[in-house]
Structure 1
Amino acid sequence: MDWPFTNKKKWIGWSKILVALCVLGLLIHRISWIDLRNAVVNAQHGWITAALILLAPNLYCQFKRWQLIVRQFEAAISAKEVVRSLFAGITLGLITPGRIGDLGRTVFIPGADWLGLMGLMLIEKWYALLVVYFAGLWGLLPFLRATLRPELWVPVETTGLALVLAGIALALHPAFLNYVLKRFNSSGKHKRLHQVLNGVTKLTPRVSRSLLFYTVAQVTVYLMQFYLLIRAFTPLPLWSGLSAVAAVMWSKTLLPISLGDLGIRESASIYFLGKLQVSEAAAFDSALLLFAINVLLPAVAGFAVLMKSRVLQSPKDSMQELM
């Protein structure tokens, strides 16, 4: 009998089963279900319902971005396969710092160039960082103005804004980006790196604009969801509330060191929202509910995808897939 990890296909199969079990363990042990229940009980449910409804456009924006990427490689891929891989990626991202496991969604696209897909996904992540940092610069502005002298905060904001705008300009002109990346690996010695960079060459101006549009739309929806959840616990002006949650989003993106961003988002919420006289309990509960709606619910769906693809099969089918 062969050792199951000597074959690459077997190794991938067993790894996915292990990941699925890790996700299940995380959902059971790392989430404070008591805090989550108390947050729901103490909130005004109308605001929570509104935030929950916005999960649909949030996921739709993620779906469209991923579909754009996948169809650069597999034009005939079905929407069902795109959705399945998207939710699986959300689940894998839950158990990794900075959601790096989200890149694993490429494995669930049958017959696709995984490394090429990862190349375009990295560009998509870069777009998301640019948009989040742009929103964060706006969100941090009132806090910087309140704590720093103008000769300190003005250069910080100006430099940050210039870098973000330069990044956006580069993102909207993929031909130059492709040229730089080709020069970076002009020798072609690193085959896998060449495959990743080759994926980036499929980026066209139309795809770039669409990716950026859906990224901006998703971040906007996210900010509104967070604001609505805060309103479920306490009154808060719209403009200053959105500014604070943009600063929170920037902070948790800058420090992707925990699984599913647990703890970072809640701590940043308490700090920035506390500056607006929002109680610690309201800040913590709203951040926890945001995690439950935007990450936990889709991750549970993704867990079902993982289990169905590897575990919830007949023993014969499972063994054939792992052979």
Structure 2
Amino acid sequence: MITSKLQNYAQKPERTTHRGWLAVAGKLLVTALTLGLLWHSVFADAATAAAWRGLLASTLTGQGRTPVLLALALVPVNWGVEAWKWWRLARHLEPVSFRRSFRAVLVGLTLGFVTPNRVGDYAGRIIELKSRRLDALGAVFLGRFGQLVVTVLAGTTGLTYFLLTFYLQEFPATALGVVVAAVLVNAAVLLPLYRSRLLLAVLMAVPPLRQFHRFLAVMPTYPAKAIHTVLALSGLRYGVFCLQFGLLLQAYGAHAPLGPGAAAIAGTFLLKSLVPSLNALADVGVRELSATHLFGLLGEPVLPVLSASLSLWVLNIALPSATGLVFVLRLKLFRKKKVAPAKQQTLVETQAASL
């Protein structure tokens, strides 16, 4: 019996080592998948490789150098604003620094690169927290929903412009219906953001959705001021995205008018957001199809728009995902509880007395 107790006590470090190996294996798997998708998206596909070579060529030869460099300089601004937004949401749950928030965003971006609909983004941000990880799911959802609200508000405006200008000029009644529908859609997405209790009530009323109630229960605890901040930061980040797209379009020679061009960019982002994707790589085709169609209505050639859209994806998704690998490899998925020396000595004495 004494031997059995000693064996059980000695086997605890082995289980910890086993979990450590699992953590290392998981991080290496994420690394391999990310690098594989990056290589496939940038080098294996001919169209993407051509756009990437064009981006480098335009930078080195001086054609479009300034717009491309400005778009590249806005990448840390883009993800810095997202980190600011997550920091504002996370500190409602526990004390957290902006540095940790920025690291969590990059880890989430990398994990989201290889997961359906970027659900790995949730895991990446939650891993960086020390407590209340269940509530963190609701916090991540709130941040992403705020970004979706801005995308819908701007995107419906952009798509409405194209519908009224190119398709419904001879159908005034239908055009009026489209405007009313756009207003109703915008109100429908804004309401859950500021009245999250209604969203929770809907989840409880639908049996298949009740399981999500506990994950989003933290949303009503955020004050209106915090929601305002999240929405403002989401709008700022959306503006950075649009500015980057506009700079890259200019670099590749597209010259759409400012107003219609902004409507095309907004419509492109909305259509991309509405289509579920298997991973970040799948977003490429959706964005390019939407962008080339909408800018085609404005008389812009396909190649400059396609190159700008692909370059936007490379700058904002591929490069930051590769950067996030550094933090993924340093993750501590299984935190060991440190035992104080005095407490550890007491534990040893207790074990000895029981033998």
Using structure 1 for the length normalisation, give the TM-score: 0.84
Which residue is 1:29 aligned to? 40
Secondary structure, aligned partner of 2:92: coil
Which residue is 2:56 aligned to? 40
Distance 1:156 1:179, change over 3 A: closer
Distance 1:230 1:191, change over 3 A: closer
Query: Could you tell me whether the CA contact under 8 Å between 2:264 and 2:295 is conserved in 1?
Result: yes
Task: For residue 39 of structure 1, report the CA deviation from its aligned partner.
Answer: 3.5
The CA distance in 1 between the partners of 2:316 and 2:252, in whole Å, is: 18
Query: Could you tell me whether the CA contact under 8 Å between 2:203 and 2:212 is conserved in 1?
Result: no
The CA distance in 2 between the partners of 1:116 and 1:102, in whole Å, is: 15
Query: Could you tell me whether the CA contact under 8 Å between 1:136 and 1:247 is conserved in 2?
Result: yes
The CA distance in 2 between the partners of 1:245 and 1:123, in whole Å, is: 24
Secondary structure, aligned partner of 1:31: helix
How is 1:105-144 mapped onto 2 (pairs within 5 angstroms)?
105-144=124-163
Counterpart residue type for residue 138 of structure 1: T
The CA distance in 1 between the partners of 2:199 and 2:273, in whole Å, is: 26
The CA distance in 2 between the partners of 1:20 and 1:28, in whole Å, is: 12
Whether 2:75 is the aligned partner of 1:55: answer: yes
Which residue is 1:245 aligned to? 265
Q: Which range is displaced more, 40-49 or 248-257?
A: 40-49
Counterpart residue type for residue 34 of structure 1: A
Which residue is 1:209 aligned to? 228
Percent identity over the alignment is 23
Which residue is 2:301 aligned to? 279
Q: Which range is displaced more, 149-158 or 20-29?
A: 149-158
Query: Could you tell me whether the CA contact under 8 Å between 1:249 and 1:265 is conserved in 2?
Result: yes
Which residue is 1:17 aligned to? 28
Task: For residue 170 of structure 1, report the CA deviation from its aligned partner.
Answer: 4.1
Whether 2:183 is the aligned partner of 1:161: answer: yes
Task: For residue 178 of structure 1, report the CA deviation from its aligned partner.
Answer: 3.0
Which among 270, 275, 288 is matched to residue 310 of structure 2?
Answer: 288
Counterpart residue type for residue 247 of structure 1: G
Query: Could you tell me whether the CA contact under 8 Å between 2:79 and 2:105 is conserved in 1?
Result: no
Task: For residue 299 of structure 1, report the CA deviation from its aligned partner.
Answer: 0.8
Could you give the per-residue CA deviations for residues 197-243 of structure 1, whole angstroms, max 9, x where no partner exists? Answer: 33223321111111011011111111111111101122222222111
Counterpart residue type for residue 125 of structure 1: R
Which residue is 1:82 aligned to? 101
Task: For residue 91 of structure 1, report the CA deviation from its aligned partner.
Answer: 1.0
Q: Which range is displaced more, 29-38 or 222-231?
A: 29-38
Q: Which range is displaced more, 95-104 or 64-73?
A: 95-104
Q: Which has the larger radius of gyration?
A: 2
Could you give the per-residue CA deviations for residues 64-109 of structure 1, whole angstroms, max 9, x where no partner exists? Answer: 111011111112x222211111100011122234322211223332
**Higher relative contact order, chain-length normalized (CA < 8 Å, sep 6+):** 1
Which residue is 2:117 aligned to? 98
Whether 2:249 is the aligned partner of 1:230: answer: yes
Which residue is 2:6 aligned to? none
- Number of residue pairs matched by the alignment: 308
The CA distance in 1 between the partners of 2:219 and 2:42, in whole Å, is: 37
Query: Could you tell me whether the CA contact under 8 Å between 1:88 and 1:105 is conserved in 2?
Result: yes
Which among 323, 326, 344 is matched to residue 301 of structure 1?
Answer: 323
Counterpart residue type for residue 67 of structure 1: W
Which is richer in helix?
A: 2
Secondary structure, aligned partner of 1:257: coil
Which residue is 2:3 aligned to? none
Which residue is 2:7 aligned to? none
The CA distance in 2 between the partners of 1:152 and 1:8, in whole Å, is: 61
Query: Could you tell me whether the CA contact under 8 Å between 1:17 and 1:307 is conserved in 2?
Result: yes
Could you give the per-residue CA deviations for residues 262-319 of structure 1, whole angstroms, max 9, x where no partner exists? Answer: 21111111111111121111011000110111111211111111123369xxxxxx9x
Using structure 2 for the length normalisation, give the TM-score: 0.77
Counterpart residue type for residue 277 of structure 1: G
Task: For residue 251 of structure 1, report the CA deviation from its aligned partner.
Answer: 0.9
Query: Could you tell me whether the CA contact under 8 Å between 1:266 and 1:284 is conserved in 2?
Result: yes
The CA distance in 2 between the partners of 1:251 and 1:41, in whole Å, is: 30
Counterpart residue type for residue 37 of structure 2: L
Which residue is 2:284 aligned to? 262
